[in-house]
Amino acid sequence: MSQLFPPAVVEPVELADAAGMVCIRTAGASDVENLSVYFTGLSATSRNKRFSGARADPGVVAAECIARSGGLDNFTLLAELRAEGRGTIIGEALYAYDATVRHGEFAISVADAFQRKGLGLQMLTAMETRAIDLGHEMIAAETARANAEMRGLAKKAGFNDTGLGDWQSVHLAKRLSR
């Protein structure tokens, strides 16, 4: 791929109906503005699901995501559609390791127009690979019981319901292995 762009963490993929290659890469300080644009462009439904209904300023959230991914055990992955020398963010996944409970937690979203094309699973797989490289043994996420997309994605990726959720939320976890 062009050297104009930061390196991808997995082989670039072609998505159905997308003009260009999609690269999954680590986010850096220069991504705050584009990530903010991405969050702003999500539908209200997707944004609500991603942020569990919490009201959030996209610019602030984007800056927090990038700042949180600065540490050794935390990172943000971006899915970037690259075409004609331009990169457009079409997905993101935030991973943070909690040393007290000894597992990584994540949150993820894919731009509405690119959902259900396999990108969420690709990002989750890339995240798991990175977490394994960091020596982490368990990965977990919490989502609304009503979030069929996330529950479906987690199931397909091999997560199980830990039973630690409540009437509104489901806690999902997966043991990582090489």
Ligand X SMILES: CC(C)(COP(=O)(O)OP(=O)(O)OC[C@H]1O[C@@H](n2cnc3c(N)ncnc32)[C@H](O)[C@@H]1OP(=O)(O)O)[C@@H](O)C(=O)NCCC(=O)NCCS
Q: Do 140 and 165 contact (CB within 8 A), yes or no? A: no
Among 5-13, 22-30, 60-68, 152-160, the segment contacting ligand X (CB under 6 A): 152-160
Figure out which of the listed residues 156, 161, 164, 168 binds ligand X, where binding follows CB under 6 A: 156
- 148 lies in the binding site for ligand X (CB under 6 A): yes
- 116 lies in the binding site for ligand X (CB under 6 A): yes
- 121 lies in the binding site for ligand X (CB under 6 A): yes
Binding mask 27-56 for ligand X (x = CB under 6 A): -------------------x--xx------
Figure out which of the listed residues 8, 9, 143, 170 binds ligand X, where binding follows CB under 6 A: 143
Contacts for 129 with CB less than 8 Å, ≥ 6 apart? 9, 10
- 171 lies in the binding site for ligand X (CB under 6 A): no
- Judged by CB under 6 A, the chain residues 62 through 91 that form the site for ligand X are none
Burial of 136 (0-12, 13-18, 19+ CB in 10 A): middle
Closest distance between ligand X and the C-beta of residue 116, in Å? Answer: 4
- 152 lies in the binding site for ligand X (CB under 6 A): yes
Full DSSP string of the chain = --TTSPPPSS--EE-TT-SSEEEEEE--GGGHHHHHHHHHHS-HHHHHHHTTT----HHHHHHHHHHHTTSTT-EEEEEEEEETTEEEEEEEEEEEEETTTTEEEEEEEE-GGGTTSSHHHHHHHHHHHHHHHTT--EEEEEEETT-HHHHHHHHHTT-EE-S---SSEEEEEEE---
Count of positions (residues) in the chain: 178
Among 21-29, 130-138, 143-151, 167-175, the segment contacting ligand X (CB under 6 A): 143-151
- 169 lies in the binding site for ligand X (CB under 6 A): no
Among 2-10, 62-70, 150-158, 164-172, the segment contacting ligand X (CB under 6 A): 150-158
- 119 lies in the binding site for ligand X (CB under 6 A): yes
> Could you list the residues that contact ligand X (CB under 6 A)?
46, 49-50, 107-110, 115-121, 143, 147-150, 152-153, 156
